[in-house]
Amino acid sequence: MFKRAAIALAGAVVLTASVLAQPARPPLTPPPLPPESQAAPPPKAEAYAPSPPPAPDAGIPDSDEPQVTIIRRETQTIEEVRVAGVLRYIRVTPRFGLPYYLIPSGNGQQFIRRDSLDQALSPPMWLLFSW
């Protein structure tokens, strides 16, 4: 048993000596900067072309793109969404509570209130506890 401990101690000394005998690595330094004569001169202001004028119809929205009108009040925010000038739905976000949607009925005189824009039938669910 004494022989094994002596051999292990000798091996540890040899390994430690070999690690300490290795040359130290030089510290990492950034590459040298190029001389001023080789650096490219900055581009002149005349080299840039002026931007082209905007297209004449840039201010006119696309007919397929929805137009959103946002009305902010103290107690709620109202977003009216129109496509091709026709009111599709109104999203009402109260200050406290969940947002809901008002969808115009077939005659356009009355609105149907929904909790989402989803058309699928969903069972009634109530939030009992929240923290």
Model confidence pLDDT, tens digit, residues 36-79: 655 566 666 555 566 677 666 655 555 678 899 999 999 999 99
Q: Copy the structure tokens of residue 17.
A: 């000596």
Contact between 100 and 92 under an 8 Å Cβ cutoff? The reply is yes
pLDDT at 77: 93
pLDDT at 86: 86
3-state secondary structure the chain: CHHHHHHHHHHHHHHHHHHHCCCCCCCCCCCCCCCCCCCCCCCCHHHCCCCCCCCCCCCCCCCCCCEEEEEECCCEEEEEEEECCEEEEEEEEECCCCCEEEEECCCCCCEEEECCCCCCCCCCCCCCCCC
pLDDT at 63: 64
Give the model's confidence band at 126: pLDDT under 50 very low, under 70 low, under 90 confident, else very high: confident
Q: Where are the domains of the chain?
A: 67-114
pLDDT at 44: 61
Q: Between 105 and 24, whose confidence is greater?
A: 105
Q: What are phi and psi of 80, to 5 degrees?
A: -100, 125
